Structure 1
Amino acid sequence: MTSSPVWSDVNLDRSGRSCGYLRVPHSVNDSGYGWIPVPIIVLKNDDGPDVLLMAGNHGDEYEGQVLLMKLAQNLPVEHVRGRLIILPGVNAPAVAAGTRISPIDDGNLNRLFPGEPQGTPTHAIAHYIDSVLLPQVRFCFDFHSGGYSLEYIPAAHLVAPDDPDLRAEAIGFLNAFAMPNSILIEGLIGGGTRLLGSCQRLGVGHMSTELGGAGSFSVQAYRAAEQGLRRLLRHVGVLVDGIEDAAPKTRFFIRQPTRDFVYAEATGVFEAYVELGDTVEARTPAGAIHCTDTPWRDPQPVFFSHGGTVLCKRSPARAKIGDCLFVTGTPVGAQ
């Protein structure tokens, strides 16, 4: 594989606390030999597992960014057994702009794995994670929210591995993190171009989250995640701080497949009939889209194709054909 053009002023193998940047080459009119700074913090102490923590994969998802910044600022390196590699704002241009995708190249980082070393900056970031960081770690935890366009119930989620041992390990992450809700995704379409796909190919244990959304900051989700992160790090053995913190119970859901999400089939103002966490039945009304360019027409009704619990809903009231309006899941027992 072609070596990464990204380099860093941080020595990943140095003991102690190291802070600096991944330097992503970017040659433009006003900076011919320039680079994009992607902040990185490494905490290394004694023997133990290597763990990669990431947030800002999408720049408009804020709880995870704050979660990892505060962890990097406040965690004593003496409490680490092994190595923590922390990227609080991994898609740095998108983080700076507060947008889902990079304003530099329209790159959606979580759809570009394993990346291209000589591609656009977002491709280069994906390639560096895939070719340099992931081969060095045993676990990777990636913190997402719904972003500007979507809002989730506070949840951890994962694509459930087929292998029984790997599945048990992954369910252990969810039970240790213990968000109020845990979402299992079976048979994700297009998973090979996501961080998940690289983790699976390289044998790296993976878990992700959906910590609120709507372009805001969820206090409820953040507080649960702040406690859950330390439990998760103790669970995998990289945090040894002498604290015993019993995990609360988490509710498990199987998320409906992508094709069964509720989508807009008209353009206009969406009037939702239900809220996050509501229980719905198949073929019942989910809402209506009011067509503002032809206001004399009856609104376009929207229906749930499957029953279950509302896990996610669209945030902006304005919607167009093809926008996701709701995601539902089926409650299941403790895993």
Structure 2
Amino acid sequence: MSTHSFTYAGGTVEPGTVQHTTLAVSETFVGGDVEIPITVVNGEELGPVLFCSAAVHGDELNGVKVVHDLVDRYGPADLAGTLVCLHVVNVPAYLAQQRYLPLYDQDLNRSFPGKERSTPAHRIANAVYSGVLTHCDYGIDLHTSTRGRTTTFHVRGQVAQHDEVARLADAFGANLVLAGVGEEENSLRTASTARGTPVITVEMGEAHRFQERYIERALAGIESVMTDLGMYDGERVEREWGVVADASQKTWVRSDEGGLVELHVGVGDVVDGGDSICTVHDHFATEEHEVTAPFRGVVAGLLQNPIAQPGHPVCHLVSVDEETAETIRRTDESS
């Protein structure tokens, strides 16, 4: 639980106040500070400290809008506890509008908890981790799919290993939860969870855009988490169906041929084993090859760039049982 005042590397925020600030995490080539924008909303009542972070990958923008709306939606009078909002974690990549740190192509989300004396990515990760994340009790890290792909709305976390991670995932209310430990080594989520700050990752949609349906669902999920934690008197998200899948229940379905891709499914769709996911056409329109589902599942991710070469992933498929498949189909028909 938080103390009444919230103290971190950016200073001290008194109860019942809001602080909009920037935190220096690195330097530019000309010696100026690289600063990440942070908002701290410290409630009038005692409660947990929850962080929400966005743009650890610089081109993943849905989360940026979610955090923007959070600081506009909740004030100190609304909260028991502290809401820490990291608007843009990877500022250099965000400015370049690319996934990784410019020049060295380093993945910030494989660099946590970071090191004081190492690569640029590790130094930024260390400044964020030690300066902000270690001062929080829980976390929600917001992401999208990488460029050229899209992903359905889902949560990732070490739900089988950590009861409080499972609590966050359940409270957030996404239908699909991808469980795992050891995946995404040195990510913000795994490093923070290992230290004792339970974190879930929210994946939603595409890079380089705001997608309102996902943004609103994420805001509802965060309110649901704050309600569960006793931070806010709000609404809990009620799921119509739910799947928690481990590594054995999911796969990337890949094309064995190169060519032009004609998709036959969308994210969130259910397919049966043997159903066509896409057709790959050659450029002369003389050959075509079907890519089929290896098992019954829900489409969690999908290629958006409509060209492929052998081995190219075209569909992220998560196994579901027949009863869940029928529930998803009924839900889709009624929506």
For the aligned pair, the TM-score class normalised by the smaller chain equals 0.7 to 0.9
SS in 2 for 1:49: strand
**1:188-267 to 2 correspondences below 5 Å:** 188-189=182-183, 191-213=184-206, 215-239=208-232, 243-255=233-245, 257=247, 260-267=251-258
Residues 157 and 250 (structure 1 numbering): CA distance in 2 closer, same or farther, change over 3 Å? Answer: farther
Runs of 5+ consecutive residues of structure 2 not aligned to the other structure: 1-7, 328-335
Aligned to 2:177: 183
Q: Kindly provide the amino acid, as one letter, of the partner of residue 328 in structure 1.
A: L
1:28-84 per-residue CA deviation (whole Å, 9 max, x = no partner) reads: 2xx1x2221211111223422122210111222222111111212332122232222
CA contact 2:160–2:179 (8 Å) conserved in 1: no
Q: Kindly provide the amino acid, as one letter, of the partner of residue 252 in structure 1.
A: G
Output the CA distance in 2 between the equivalents of 1:9 and 1:195.
Answer: 18
- Report the Cα offset of residue 186 of structure 1: 3.4
Aligned to 2:53: 54
Aligned to 1:90: 89
Moved more, 257-266 or 202-211: 257-266
Moved more, 249-258 or 94-103: 249-258
TM-score (norm 1): 0.82
State the superposition RMSD in angstroms: 2.7
1:329 aligns with 2:329: no
- Report the Cα offset of residue 317 of structure 1: 0.8
Aligned to 1:3: none
Runs of 5+ consecutive residues of structure 1 not aligned to the other structure: 1-7
Q: Kindly provide the amino acid, as one letter, of the partner of residue 112 in structure 2.
A: F
CA contact 1:264–1:302 (8 Å) conserved in 2: yes
Aligned to 1:315: 304
**1:5-154 to 2 correspondences below 5 Å:** 10-15=10-15, 16-28=17-29, 31=30, 33-45=31-43, 46-154=45-153
TM-score (norm 2): 0.82
- Report the Cα offset of residue 91 of structure 1: 0.9
Residues 173 and 198 (structure 1 numbering): CA distance in 2 closer, same or farther, change over 3 Å? Answer: same
Residues 188 and 311 (structure 1 numbering): CA distance in 2 closer, same or farther, change over 3 Å? Answer: farther
- Report the Cα offset of residue 215 of structure 1: 3.6
Output the CA distance in 2 between the equivalents of 1:290 and 1:127.
Answer: 47
1:282 to 273, 298, 301: 273
Output the CA distance in 1 between the equivalents of 2:291 and 2:194.
Answer: 39
SS in 1 for 2:132: helix
Moved more, 251-260 or 298-307: 251-260
CA contact 2:223–2:235 (8 Å) conserved in 1: no
Moved more, 217-226 or 248-257: 248-257
What is the aligned length?
A: 313
Identity of aligned residues (%): 22
